[in-house]
Structure 1
């Protein structure tokens, strides 16, 4: 009979939870004897259709976990007491404490398993205008200018995202609509957001949970690189962290995450790690031009 193991996934972020899925898969494969996994997480819906997990429960007040721990084994995942998460790649940070070592590219393949049937519309371009930390946000007027440029090319554009308050970060995270674009902000479940991205020709986002979710699709992606170097949150698919993806970056590649302590660009009071408008527009137009060439 397989041993029941409880996994206490402490991270609050959607992206970090998605990054945990390939590690859970590796844990099952490398445990040494048959096991089943019961996960306790801030995002149980992400795991309810995951084939690597038997049950998914909210962390809540910890009562369910305490009851579980009284009779079964519990392991911690994303344990910031072991090593500060700003110092090591997310996959390594999750896998090394579990004695799985560093996973290879194929093992880091991102996967997502939606429960809801696909009800999404088709759009050429899908944008996520997420505003979070100042070092991981793009000015809203830049997003509007980019949308206007894409619309001028005759492409259909939708904006997705969901406003939420992060208890861990004490921060309100928002996604604002854009003029001329279909507004899907705060109107979709995570499954329908997944289907929307999966249907589009190009997805453009900052470094956040939806950019990681996009990595579980085969969409073309442009990620606005910022205070987290792309290699620390690489979107692994097809055994390649650069498969159909462009990272539009600023002028600093330090992995600091020190949003209130970093040197600023004095001319615009914008952090050096946040990409400028031109870099992002060029990356987006290059991806769209390549797609149009394939169509013709």
Structure 2
């Protein structure tokens, strides 16, 4: 039986993919490496044909979400991990997290990770922060890590897709949906993977309309999640506060281009928490009160007032 399936979607990243793949290989666990080449034109598919221990799948260039879903239909592991092709796993993370999962009989192993900067060569460890409410943590209470550091039991994530409608923030929604299933979890106290910061393209690095769409996608995910929690009677004040704290900077950023739409979200936030006080300077809070959120944000955009 396969212990772990590592799902790696990739597109024109042959410069990084071999390191990602090599990091998945380890003793102490039967690891299936599923790489979906999403229509690369840089020789990725030819390289994959030389790797005998990889399940290689070739698809048209429909994007990360479809690539991941294609991989999951093939994956056979008891546990699943998701890894971007420009990142890599820490040594023995697969085997050690698997051992912890078996020892603890849990559904999910969480962990922190390392940041690596290509330009400077510096590393920073982002250690896991404990929290007694996993949903509140994933909504924004404290720091919630990255899902590539997590090892998911396969039956925990059955029926939770990477949703194309939220593609710019698909992993955030995925983990929120996992959290709402209230998994039994254990903490792996070492970094589990290395997140590479580089000058190349990444989904989360956007500009212009796509950047604004990213803000709106984030807002939409939170509105959807909080609506579901409210339906279940699980939207506690603590979870509201966590979500609002995460939403506010996205709303402010979104307001630079779309103040009216952002103002609607602010009204929704105030409906969630009538006592909400915007974390801004008193003068700006006064302007919100007297002029309204949308007008104030328009003035800030046009006059470049200090914020």
Normalized against structure 1, the TM-score is what? Answer: 0.30
Look at both structures and tell me which one has the larger radius of gyration over its CA atoms: 2
TM-score (norm 2): 0.29
